[in-house]
Amino acid sequence: MADYVLAIDQGTTSTRAIVFDHSGLIVETGQIEHEQIFPKAGWVEHDANEIWRNTREVVGLALTRANLTFRDIVAVGITNQRETAVVWDRTTGQPVYNAIVWQDTRTQKIADDLGALGGGADRYKDKVGLPLATYFSGPKVKWILDNVDGAREKAERGDLLFGNTDAWVVWNMTGGADGGIHVTDPTNASRTMLMNLDTLSWNEEIAADMGIPMSMLPEIRSSSEVYGHGREGGMVPGVPIAGILGDQQAATFGQACFEVGNAKNTYGTGNFMLLNTGTEPILSKNGLLTTVGYKIGDQPTVYALEGSIAVSGSLVQWLRDNLGLISSAPEIEKLAATVEDNGGAYFVPAFSGLFAPYWRSDARGALVGLTRYVNKGHIARAVLEATAFQTREVLDAMNADSGVDLTELKVDGGMVANETLMQFQADILGVPVIRPKVAETTALGAAYAAGIAVGFWNGEQDVIDNWAEDKRWTPSMDDAERDRQYRLWKKAVTKTLDWVDEDVK
């Protein structure tokens, strides 16, 4: 058997390929950013063709840097930005429109109109575990069919396919228009608003409500099985494509959160905390999402509660690209370290509204508490602290829904290299924060899913055995200061609400 597993991590800002060995350690990587397209305020798009080109290139980069070929790869796992919708022509292989990204808010009227038919934002929640919101894929597909010339007619003829970016990548890897396999897994399907949580099957009634023909939808398979093989002449010809997990579920799997009550938080473009709730879905009463955690082969489905935060790492990117206060993302820690605290400034990054636990699409970003004393160091610190405060709000909701207070939080993702942020996170939560030795657990989870499918790893115990702690941050802030800062944060959040009206879009 070959010695390595390849993971493709198709993220919101970049696509990466990472080669892992049997110990779950990174051998080599390749990474390329793709363009963020903003046609209008609140609209966010990606070029799906650019993503596919970058996918091929990063696989070549990773294999070349590791001095490997496809013959050294036993299986490929895919993890991806969820809820980002791609609609393409099955005959030509060309997208009919740019991919509409999960952060995009153009579908608010669609969500409102569906809710107005009865049930409001919770119209489908008991079936799909999600509120009606711009976040999810289904309304984005409806928007494309309603607004792209000829798209609906093509869809009704059976000529169009839909998928999150996992389905787009797998279809292209396995042949594209020349016989590509159109599949997804339950973690991605559960983010469309179109899948029944209990049966893991598409809900024809909801698809009809959104005007989405069933012929567009990919086949739902488990998160760990051989779906097909790399196409001849491609980057990994004949290699099994054997794992698909949405990015946050992949990180949960890579963090070995296999027991009920285990939780992780991923710090990426957004922040996403998942809590393993076992083999029965639990509907949240506190603004969280009920989602599929993972399904390995024919084993029982594992569910999770999720707190989704739209903007965390992308706020650092905004500080770099839009304001020019830093020239690279890692510089923010050095800038934040020039001051002792936030100087009274709080930054609520509601650029796409507020996600969990508020679900307020009418919110917009606000920097509050400004005085002449505040400088760019204070703003940098407020940017970092925004991520930690938002995580605290989600953790409070999880504690309320689960009835169990978390005693520690496993963390992963690009921002966990920022030790200033991690210490403040522990301080504002009041529990230890733990970083694993392999912080890229999103890609690692996809690798594990693929490797388990082909017998490279034996199962969950191998994942547990490979997991190792790198660093732990313990709280050092006293209770009174923690409560004061959190109270001011909650006050700052109220300043962002009810901003969007008929005249301001």
- pLDDT tens sequence across 111-166: 999 999 999 989 999 999 999 999 999 999 999 999 999 999 999 999 999 999 99
Rounded-to-integer distance, Cα 288 and Cα 273, Å: 10
Return the axis-axis angle of helices 419-429 and 376-402, rounded to nearest 10°. 40
The reply to whether 82 sits in an annotated binding site is yes
The reply to whether 247 sits in an annotated binding site is yes
Residue 354 DSSP code? B
Q: Which residues contact 128 (CB under 8 A, 6 or more apart)?
A: 190, 193, 194, 195, 196, 197, 203, 206
Rounded-to-integer distance, Cα 454 and Cα 458, Å: 9
Residue 48 · residue 4 · CB < 8 Å: no
The reply to whether 303 sits in an annotated binding site is no
3-state helix, strand, coil in the chain (%, to 5): 35, 25, 40
Residue 406 · residue 395 · CB < 8 Å: yes
Rounded-to-integer distance, Cα 178 and Cα 302, Å: 35
Rounded-to-integer distance, Cα 164 and Cα 183, Å: 10
The reply to whether 414 sits in an annotated binding site is yes
Q: If you average pLDDT over residues 390-403, what whole number do you get?
A: 90
Structural domains of the chain ordered from first start? 4-248 (3.30.420.40), 256-436+468-500 (3.30.420.40)
The reply to whether 346 sits in an annotated binding site is no
Residue 224 · residue 155 · CB < 8 Å: no
Rounded-to-integer distance, Cα 429 and Cα 309, Å: 16
Rounded-to-integer distance, Cα 67 and Cα 4, Å: 12
Rounded-to-integer distance, Cα 324 and Cα 303, Å: 41
Instruction: Please give the share of the chain, as a percent, with pLDDT higher than 70.
Output: 99
The dihedrals phi and psi of 43, each to the nearest 5 degrees, come to -100, 135
The reply to whether 108 sits in an annotated binding site is no
3-state secondary structure of 40: coil
CA–CA distances in Å: residue 101 to residues 12, 192, 226, 248, 491? 8, 12, 28, 16, 30
Tell me the one-letter amino acid at 470.
Answer: D
The reply to whether 372 sits in an annotated binding site is no
The dihedrals phi and psi of 150, each to the nearest 5 degrees, come to 80, -5
Beta sheet of 302-309, edge-to-edge order: 289-294, 302-309, 271-278, 263-267, 409-412, 433-436, 469-473
- The pLDDT tens digits for 174-186 are 999 999 999 999 9
Q: Which residues contact 202 (CB under 8 A, 6 or more apart)?
A: 189, 194, 195, 196, 214, 217, 220
3-state secondary structure of 369: coil
Q: If you average pLDDT over residues 33-37, what whole number do you get?
A: 95
- The pLDDT tens digits for 347-389 are 999 998 898 899 888 899 999 999 999 999 999 999 999 999 9
For residue 502, what pLDDT band results from cuts at 50, 70 and 90?
A: low
pLDDT of residue 352: 82
3-state secondary structure 72-115: HEEEEEEEECCCCEEEEECCCCCECCCEECCCCCCCHHHHHHHH
Residue 444 · residue 20 · CB < 8 Å: yes
Give exposure, 155-174, as e/b (b: 16+ Cβ within 10 Å): beeebbbbbbbbbbbbbbbb
- The pLDDT tens digits for 296-319 are 999 999 999 999 888 888 899 999
Instruction: Say whether pLDDT at 428 is over 60.
Output: yes
The reply to whether 83 sits in an annotated binding site is yes
The reply to whether 118 sits in an annotated binding site is no
Instruction: Say whether pLDDT at 91 is over 90.
Output: yes
Sign of the alpha-carbon torsion through 10, 83, 239, 453: positive
For residue 505, what pLDDT band results from cuts at 50, 70 and 90?
A: very low
Helix (H) or strand (E) holding 367: strand 366-368
For residue 1, what pLDDT band results from cuts at 50, 70 and 90?
A: low
Q: If you average pLDDT over residues 200-217, what whole number do you get?
A: 97
Residue 432 DSSP code? -
Residue 21 · residue 29 · CB < 8 Å: no
Q: How many CB atoms lie within 10 A of CB 25?
A: 13
The reply to whether 23 sits in an annotated binding site is no
Instruction: Please give the share of the chain, as a percent, with pLDDT higher than 90.
Output: 85
Q: Which residues are bridge partners to 278 per DSSP?
A: 303
Residue 221: closest CA among 187, 255, 196, 192: 187
The reply to whether 352 sits in an annotated binding site is no
CA–CA distances in Å: residue 391 to residues 368, 384, 425, 466? 19, 11, 8, 27
Pairing of strands 263-267, 469-473: unpaired
pLDDT of residue 109: 93
pLDDT of residue 408: 86
Asked, as a colleague might, if the bond just before 357 is cis with ω within 30 of 0, I would say yes
The two tokens of residue 399 are 């504690």
Residue 391 · residue 273 · CB < 8 Å: yes
Residue 161 DSSP code? E
The reply to whether 266 sits in an annotated binding site is no
